[in-house]
A and B are shown apart, each in its own frame.
Chain A
Amino acid sequence: NAGVMQNPRHLVRRRGQEARLRCSPMKGHSHVYWYRQLPEEGLKFMVYLQKENIIDESGMPKERFSAEFPKEGPSILRIQQVVRGDSAAYFCASSPDGPNYGYTFGSGTRLTVV
């Protein structure tokens, strides 16, 4: 499967735990984007990364959230000390060269904080 791969599909965490969401872009894509979607709301941009670089993190909350895209391996979105308000669908998308030609989305990770 050459699509954008996200795992896990579903993640349940207790308040205060850490959540790690993984994303492997499509083959040939070096640009990765993370978005969050709450019920009845649109997709909200969080962070844009290329290999070993954060290009734009203007949508990421300043505390508890971090992202990386190492030279080897998938992109990771990390949420520390999760709270109930973090419950959402987190989508990763990739593109070969910036946003001008659209993104391909992964299937998403549904995070539930209990």
Chain B
Amino acid sequence: QKEVEQNSGPLSVPEGAIASLNCTYSDRGSQSFFWYRQYSGKSPELIMSIYSNGDKEDGRFTAQLNKASQYVSLLIRDSQPSDSATYLCAVNLSGYSTLTFGKGTMLLVSP
């Protein structure tokens, strides 16, 4: 069964630190990778997409992709309490017509 795996957390970091969120996926042929942020009681919000190996930066967020290791990560620099949320990794697994989501990692940023 093709899957997307994330550590459920919570991952606790102090304000100003770097938060590192990780995701592994089971299918080597996957091409599209996404990070969503979901606040409690709210809907998921797309924050990053990445399609090729390497790093992609957008403000305080950096997505990293390593297709050989089947690994995608999200770094959040200068973490703020407002970053406290659940972060969902989503992958367009090959042979699937839709995105498959991990269960999410809860991030807690303490002031």
Contact = CB atoms under 8 A, between A and B. Distances in A.
Interface string A70-114: 000000000000000000000100000011111111111000000
Interface residues of A, number: 21
Contact of A56 (B36, B42, B98, B104): B98
A105 B38 CA distance: 11
A18 B15 CA distance: 47
Contacts of B97: 48, 55-56, 98-99
Interface string A22-57: 000000000001010000011101001000000110
A42 B43 CA distance: 12
A100 B103 contact: no
Interface of B: 31-32, 34, 36, 42-46, 49, 88, 90, 92, 97-104
Interface of A: 33, 35, 41-43, 45, 48, 55-56, 91, 98-108
29 contacts: A33-B98, A33-B99, A42-B88, A42-B104, A43-B44, A43-B88, A43-B101, A45-B98, A45-B99, A48-B97, A48-B98, A55-B97, A56-B97, A98-B97, A99-B92, A99-B99, A100-B31, A100-B32, A100-B92, A101-B32, A101-B49, A102-B34, A102-B49, A103-B46, A103-B99, A105-B36, A105-B45, A107-B42, A107-B43
